[in-house]
């Protein structure tokens, strides 16, 4: 649908995280897909955009914060497809927009800022003729988002024992669970603090309730879009060892968690892990200059 995406650049990189040689670790490099529509974002959007086209919608309305990967990916996707885009942005408009929102505007997205109360209820201003627009939930959450995310695994072989990913809305994780076989387990690392509602959100998107999966809440590093020195130190060392950049919101926490879980013998001997690099590197622009070496 979008010729600008470099699907042929997606790779599976083998890395050394395990002190136990009987555990293998690969990373599916979705971050190579596109510098703007990065990682899992396109996969979660693809079927929503198809539905919008089939319904002859003029554009897309969606929701996100000032540093939302989903917002900028939606803006760029709509631009490439000739669709209008409206982003309902959480919080009041600041004097200086984040680079994410600046780029979203450059891709043609109309930004509408919403109070946190109005945003929580996902209010859309009455002046917008919503009949002309297809509405996508924050982060691409929904059945179509999970369906798209399940196609991520078409870009790797299928002999892994575990799929591991970071989880925000849980949409990608649900897609991985749906794609997995009976003898595979999906592990999600929640990037929010004490987000116990996430299990129910994922359950709603799973097509086979007998699939094996586990959501782990032990690595939030302060909460969503927050970090601690230990996380940034790990991300820098991970890059030195593997050459793979990560972001502090999602993939940095994923790689840290899997590394720690391996040290704690969480995974059985002989496990073959696939870690999903879900992109999102633009979020690192919010860090002080010099925090990361990449």
Supply the CATH classification number for the domain 7-35+152-286. Answer: 3.40.50.1100
All CATH 3.40.50.1100 domain ranges of the chain, comma separated, are 7-35+152-286, 41-140
Backbone angles phi, psi at 177, to 5 degrees: -60, -45
pLDDT for the residue numbered 3:
75
Distance of alpha carbon 221 from alpha carbon 13, whole angstroms: 26
pTM, full prediction: 0.95
The mean of the pLDDT values for the chain is 95
pLDDT for the residue numbered 4:
82
pLDDT in tens, 40-75: 999 999 999 999 999 999 999 999 999 999 999 999
Q: Which positions of the chain have pLDDT values less than 70?
A: 1, 18-21
pLDDT for the residue numbered 129:
85
Supply the CATH classification number for the domain 41-140. Answer: 3.40.50.1100
pLDDT for the residue numbered 1:
67
pLDDT in tens, 160-200: 999 999 999 999 999 999 999 999 999 999 999 999 999 99
pLDDT for the residue numbered 20:
63
């Amino acid at each position: 649908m979008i010729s600008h995406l470099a699907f042929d650049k997606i790779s599976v990189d083998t890395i050394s995280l395990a002190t136990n040689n009987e555990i293998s670790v690969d990373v599916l490099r979705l971050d190579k897909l596109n510098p703007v529509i990065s990682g899992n974002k396109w996969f979660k959007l693809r079927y929503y955009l198809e539905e919008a086209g089939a319904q002859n919608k003029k554009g897309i309305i969606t929701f996100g914060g000032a540093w939302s990967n989903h917002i900028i990916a939606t803006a760029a996707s709509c631009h490439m497809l000739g669709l209008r885009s409206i982003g309902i942005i959480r919080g009041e408009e600041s004097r200086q927009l984040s680079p994410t929102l600046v780029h979203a505007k450059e891709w043609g997205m109309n930004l509408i800022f919403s109070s946190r109360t109005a945003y929580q209820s996902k209010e859309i201003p009455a002046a917008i003729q919503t009949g002309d627009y297809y509405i996508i939930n924050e982060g691409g959450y929904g059945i179509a988002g999970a369906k798209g995310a399940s196609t991520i695994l078409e870009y790797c072989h299928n002999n892994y024992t575990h799929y591991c990913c970071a989880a925000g809305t849980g949409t990608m994780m649900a897609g991985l669970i749906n794609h997995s076989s009976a003898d595979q387990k999906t592990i999600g690392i929640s990037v929010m603090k004490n987000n116990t509602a996430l299990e129910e959100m994922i359950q709603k998107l799973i097509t086979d309730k007998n699939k094996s999966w586990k959501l782990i809440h032990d690595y939030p590093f302060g909460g969503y879009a927050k970090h601690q020195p230990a996380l940034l130190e790990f991300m820098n060392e991970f890059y030195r060892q593997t050459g793979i950049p990560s972001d502090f919101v999602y993939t940095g926490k994923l790689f840290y968690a899997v590394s720690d879980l391996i040290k704690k013998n969480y995974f059985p001997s002989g496990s073959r892990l696939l870690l999903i690099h879900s992109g999102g590197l633009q979020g690192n622009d919010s860090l002080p200059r010099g925090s990361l070496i990449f």
